[in-house]
Structures are given as structure tokens and as C-alpha cells.
Structure 1
Amino acid sequence: MSVVILAKNEEKNIEDCLESCKFANEIILIDDGSSDRTVELAKKFNAKIFERSLNGDWGSQQSFGINQTTQPWLLLLDCDERITSSLYQSIKDVIGTGEKKTYLIQRENHFKHYHAQHGTLRPDWVQRFFPNEGIRVEGFVHPKIISSFPEKKLQGRMIHFPYENPDQYYRKLNQYAKLSAEKYFKEERKLSFFRDIVLRPAWAAFKVYFINLGFLDGKIGFIFAANHYSYTLQKYIRYYLLRHSGGKF
């Protein structure tokens, strides 16, 4: 099995990530010009290192990593994710049976100081494990796996540590909002000021806080719902400015 990981300045995460998938026959690390010890630490796990600029295109970067693999099974992993023992056993069982499907893995968010399992941080299912046959990834912000195999859910969860501090969190939200707006602009998506800028952010926050039960996470649940409002508002404001004034005030 090959594991493909994208990285940039992940020295705090890379060892725990690679330790959790050290059962792999091959680890492919695509490094986006790290200036810390990411590459040095990855080499301790015999990872094959490839230097390549991400340039805001996750899909292209992951597809490049996939093209470097040599094993018949493929697992895509982020540096802030960990494979649990129960998930490893499921992966091992699949490889043993050889059942060719696109496997969905449930991802569980963890934080050091807070517990959040609802709203925007409820466990989600992600496509990450498949036969290494004709797989490619498309999309700048939220990449989509292109596979000819039917989907099936795996037993066992992946642990995800999405944010360490507010700076990292808001930096990612800002980056995602910017890339989403640029994607909408390229797609020439329809835009209504009232619907998308006035109403949509409020609906987004209401949905994650009440419908997706974010309120069950207490104060931190409210904080994430409020930030989801801000993120939704920002990406549509950015899109509005791109359409009407070239992205400038």
C-alpha cells in the first residue's frame, strides 16, 4: 500500500502522522517548500520526498503524488490526521480480500482543550482509500476524488486535529474563502447580493448550530457557528468584489 501526504512546515505533526501509517509499504511526501524540519523528520520513516509548489491547487498536488506511487492500494492522508488501530485492521482486511471499491473513512475531530463533535466539526466521511487504478483528484479548495469504483464505508475512524490555535484557524478560513471566491468566479456562478451575502451566511450559521446540533458543544459550538457565518460571508463578499470591481474596494 502507498500513502500520499502533502506537507508544508508540519514538523509538529509529521512524526505522529507517519507513525500512525508506518505499516504502509511506501510513503510519498509532497513538500511545498518547508522551512522547518518536516523533510528531515519524514526521512526517518523512509518517506520518498518530492519538492513541488502547491500553488493553491490541492487537486493537482495530490494527483502528482498519486502518480509517484508504485503499490496496488492507495491511501491519501493529511499531516493532521492519524490512523487508528481499528481503521488499520479494516484497511488490512480490505487488502486481504481485494474488494475493489472507493472506501470512505469517517474522520473524528479532536482538540487539546475543547470537545466539539457537532456542527461544523461533526464526524465526516472522506474518500481516502482505493485501488491504485486510474485515480485522480480535481478541485482547488475541496478536492474531489475521481474513481470508477463504487463507494463503501470502512469500519474504524481516522483522528483529525484540524486547528492548533486561532491564528492557524483564521488563516485557513481566509485562505479557503479566497480560493472559493476565485473558483466561483471561474465558474461564473450566479450571484444575488440579498440571497448570498445577506441571507446565506445566517442560514449557514443556523444550520450548523441548530440542525447539525452545534449547540450541544456548548460555548465552543457557538464560536464555531459564528465563525462559519463569517467564513460564508467573506467568500461571497470576495466573489462579489471579483465580479464587480476586480477584487478591489
Structure 2
Amino acid sequence: MFCLGEPVELWQHFPGRPRGRRPHVVEQPPICCTPKHPGSRLQTADPTSPRPTPGDPQRAELQRVGAPLSVAVLALNEASRLASCLESLRFADEVLLVDGGSQDRTVAIAEEFGCRVVVQPWLGYSRQKQLAVDRCRNDWVLILDADERIPPATAAAIRTLDLGTAAPAAYRLRRRNYFHGRWIRRCGWWPDRVVRLVDRRRGRFCDRQVHEQWLARGPVAELDADLEHRSFRTYADLVQKMQLYSSLSALEMAHQDLRVHPWSAATHGLWSFLNTYLFQLGLLEGFDGFMIATANAGGSFLKYAKLYELNRYGDGREGED
């Protein structure tokens, strides 16, 4: 299913490109999720008011048993969605934003919210997220993309967890995927279970081109809580992700020396459509369900077509002058 991760330029993922430079760090005070500047979307806090402390009644509902929590947010040109993400992270002890080189106001918005900011040219999904986890100040880390949100009920559930020595190595959350402002409950999009709350001392990300996974060294518990994912806003977003993920997946399989028959693309694409639209009940999601099934099928078709092309012709540059 092609529904995960941040949209990035395809050329950034090909072998042989220069790896990212040492990250530039902009140190900021500990997070205060009220923007500092007048005219921001949130009401500006009175600068003369004392900062809430753990014993204050206004933060009583945010108290935690055990270890402090960092949130690592990955972003690239997410100015239109970042504020609502950061707004949902009031419960965190620290918020770190790792920016992949945005050309919009992403970094400025993060600074307005008091986040620590690390600017790191894109390393790939797994390496970028591992860098974010490594740069956090606390061992327990909640990992998010800028198009994701933590609902208040989930924030409360996380704050009441005992993240002490007896805790699992990681927690898995349910992810609600939205399209055109609507929660998609079918098409294989629900329940979309993802490991996001981790003890970084007991795991790390596997080094993959796409569909990165956290490899926990210890038990992974199910947290009865959701996070919101608002990645796709238009059908063009589906097509963009279909192209990107199919190319990255084909490259990864080619590096594993996997070989396919020329008709593999057609059979995998057909099965993907039938599975999404019929067996996973995408037909009950209306035209959006049809488009999601079509995008899944197109992504699967292109993945195997591109792999066959790599098997037979290499990277496509043979015979060039």
C-alpha cells in the first residue's frame, strides 16, 4: 500500500548521489506549543506569566509516571500542515524537528513553537528517522511525520504510561488515514498499526529505501490509542506517491538481486486492485476507494515493471554517449 512517508524528490534516493552533510542544529528553548509571535494561529501566551511547572494545576493532566518523552518530527516543505502537528504535541517534554531542506516556512514555524531544529539534507527514510531519534535528549521517543497528529485522548494515554525499566521496548499505535478530510476505514487503511513510541536504547531503524521499520530488541506492546495521518489531499498526491514508492521499491529489490518475469507487473497489479477494492471493501468508500485501489494497483504494477527493466537493462544508461 502506497500511503506512508513524506513526499520527496525522487533523485535524492538514487545510489551515487552525495550523502547528506553534517546536520546544522538550531538550538531552541524547551518546547512551548504556543507560538511566540502576534498574528500566529494560536493565541499568544502572556510573556509575563510564569512558565507552567510539573506541580501546577494547569499541567496536572499532563503528568507522567517514569521517563520523560521526546517527540521527533520529520518535515520537508510542510508549512501548510506543520502548525497543527506541533499544536497536538503540548504534552511532550521535548519536540525536535528534523528538516530535510525545506524552501518554505517550515523551519520558521517550528522555531515559533519553540522546537529544537536540526537541518539535515535528506538521507532516506530510515536514516533520516534514525538521525532524529539519535538527536533527541530523552531515551523514550515518539516518532512522527509532519502530516500526522496526536489526538488529545492519545496524548493522555501516552502521558499515563509508566515508561520505567519494566516498560516494553516499544509501543504500536493505530493510525487513522484521512483522504479529502474523511477517515478511510477500508482499503487496508484501517487499522494501520505502526510502531511509533520507542525506547531508543532497545532498537533502531532497519536500513531500507522505503517502508522503514523500527526493529525493537524486546517486546512491542499494543497501545489502545490512535494517531491521525493526513498525507493525501488530492488524487495527484496518490499518483506522486505511487511513482516515488514504486521506484524506490524496485531499486531495493534490484539491490537484493531479485528477478521477475515480464508479466509479473500485470499479475501483481491486478491482484492489488482486486484485494484493495473487493476483499478490503474499498468499494464501500465510494470513488475515493476506487482511486485508492487504482493507485495501489498502479504502484504494484510499476514496481515490478521497473524491477524487470532494471533486471534487463540496468539503470537505463547503457549505450549512452
TM-score range relative to shorter protein = over 0.9
- 1:178–1:238 contact (8 Å) kept in structure 2: yes
Provide the TM-score with structure 1 as the length reference: 0.93
Percent of paired sites with the same residue: 27
Distance 2:181 2:149 in 1: 18
Letter of the structure 2 residue corresponding to residue 164 of structure 1: R
For residues 85-100 of structure 1, the aligned pairs below 5 Å read: 85-95=152-162, 99-100=167-168
**Which of residues 142, 156, 170 is equivalent to 1:75?**
142
For residues 148-227 of structure 1, the aligned pairs below 5 Å read: 148-194=217-263, 196-227=264-295
Letter of the structure 1 residue corresponding to residue 190 of structure 2: R
Q: Which has the higher helix share?
A: 1
What stretches of structure 1 move > 6 A for 4+ residues in a row?
none
Q: 1:147 to 1:114 in 2, by over 3 A?
A: closer
Deviates more, 1:140-149 or 1:117-126: 117-126
Q: 1:164 to 1:78 in 2, by over 3 A?
A: same
Deviates more, 1:237-246 or 1:162-171: 162-171
Residue 187 of structure 2 is matched in structure 1 by 119
Deviates more, 1:133-142 or 1:34-43: 133-142
- 2:242–2:299 contact (8 Å) kept in structure 1: yes
Q: What residue ranges of structure 2 are gaps of 5+ in the alignment?
A: 1-68
| Residue 64 of structure 1 pairs with residue 166 of structure 2 | no
Q: 1:144 to 1:113 in 2, by over 3 A?
A: closer
Residue 303 of structure 2 is matched in structure 1 by 235
Q: Spell out, residue by residue over 1:82-120, the C-alpha distance to the aligned partner (whole angstroms, 9 max, x if none).
A: 101121122112136662331000001123355532114
Q: 1:65 to 1:43 in 2, by over 3 A?
A: same
Measured on the aligned residues, the alpha-carbon RMSD in Å equals 1.7
Residue 21 of structure 1 is matched in structure 2 by 89
SS of 2:238's partner is helix
Q: Spell out, residue by residue over 1:43-87, the C-alpha distance to the aligned partner (whole angstroms, 9 max, x if none).
A: 1222111111114x1101111111111213110001111101121
Deviates more, 1:93-102 or 1:180-189: 93-102
Provide the TM-score with structure 2 as the length reference: 0.73
Q: What residue ranges of structure 1 are gaps of 5+ in the alignment?
A: none
